[in-house]
Amino acid sequence: MNLSTQMCRSAWAGLALLLSACGGSGEQNITIDLNLSRDARWAADIEYMTGRMTTVHPNLYHSFSATEFNAAKKALLEDIPRLDDHGLFARLLQLFALPGQERDLHMAVSYFDGTDNLINPLKFYRFEGGVFLIQSLDEHQDFIGGELLAIDGLPLSEANAILDSIIPRDNQQSLEVFRNFAYINPAVLYGLGIGNSPTATTYSLRLENNEVVEMPVTAISPINFPLDPSHNLPKDNTVGYLNKRGDLWLEHFEENATVYIKLNRMVESSGGVSLNDLAQQTLAIVQQAPGTKVVLDLRQNNGGNNELVGDIIDFLRHPEINRPDRLLVFTDRQVLSAAGNLVAELDYRTQATFIGVPPGGSGSQYGDAKEYRLPYSGITIYLPTRFWQFGDPDHQPLSQTMDVWMEPGILDYLTKRDPLFERFVLARTGQ
């Protein structure tokens, strides 16, 4: 890692963050002293970062004590001379993440902006039973669908225990979402002592036939990354909930007495369709055909405008919809930020039945993040500026309780099946 490198990598600048939930850039007026030594520059960046953390975050010590945080900061400053830049970056990530153990997924440090980190051209995703490879360049296509067992010889469970120290999150589900980014950054793996090189990694995978293989991967520049750079599953028009058709849409399955509403983003309108349009269409159907189920599919919804939560709740509370056997909500780990807020309100104010995997976003969380750039390295950090509370004010769980836990497996994904849709949308009412 070159401390003086400052590269604009817009596709990856907020790699571990939901950039759409950010509130923009923060104020920054600081004098740069070009005569500072390497160690002094790192110290200045650490002081700048911790200063912003303590002044910007509305409640930095909500889950971690100031005494422990200051002790960790002091230890890092003292260790600067004996650590190389990769080790220092890893320790900086750990210091930043210390207070962010819950309700803080909007805190993040970019793995790339301000560094010369490379990226392994892969994409991993958590399905039922494990973490699996779902995208790669042509040379590794034969390994698609393989279960990740180890990174540079270190068992995945041990690697995860180390990686968890650098990942701010709302809950266990968002932790599992954002591990996927760390798996493919060799410089971060190397700085944490997981990987053997800052430019290459060997992954141990178990293939469908139970054969265990070693997959060596050479990292590439994150600029113009050739694979899907998000933490979501890639779009796929042959799978309903991954369809590219827009941020919100509706289908009426008349034979199955079901209205299916897909909400991919918390937006007021998309592609000429508005939330009000969906509400009016849904109400017209359920009033014409009493007993019709309404399925709200929030899977892969990373958030957006949480001021829309009330409008969505108001229409779903209609007496023809708001019944436990008629209002079903699908969620997964990628339901984050404002979408997590919506889930909490649905749980509190409706009789919805929740199906799938708990959201990665807690109902109440710190959000409206602003961006700050460390003055010497150019490393980008994001800090929340306010607390949002949704759901039952007297009961604020980190994770939503599911009525039916149903997590697709890797074979479902590879064969383009959606078990939730098949069971709860296409099945006739009462089945």
**391, 423, 261, 241: which is closest to 327 by C-alpha?**
261
The torsion region of residue 288 among left (phi > 0), alpha (psi -120 to 50) and beta comes to alpha
The partner residues of 304 in beta bridges, in order of sequence, read: 266
The tens digit of pLDDT for each residue in 213-259 reads 999 999 999 998 999 999 999 999 889 899 888 899 999 999 999 99
The tens digit of pLDDT for each residue in 336-357 reads 999 999 999 999 999 999 999 9
* C-alpha to C-alpha distance for 38 and 41, rounded to whole angstroms: 5
Q: Which amino acid is at 212?
A: V
The tens digit of pLDDT for each residue in 68-102 reads 999 999 999 999 999 999 999 999 999 999 999 99
Task: List the structure tokens of 94.
Answer: 């750990």
The tens digit of pLDDT for each residue in 136-179 reads 999 999 999 999 999 999 999 999 999 999 999 999 999 999 99
Question: Confidence class of residue 124 from pLDDT cuts 50, 70 and 90?
Answer: very high
Domains of the chain by range and CATH? 19-218 (2.30.42.10), 240-366+389-424 (3.90.226.10)
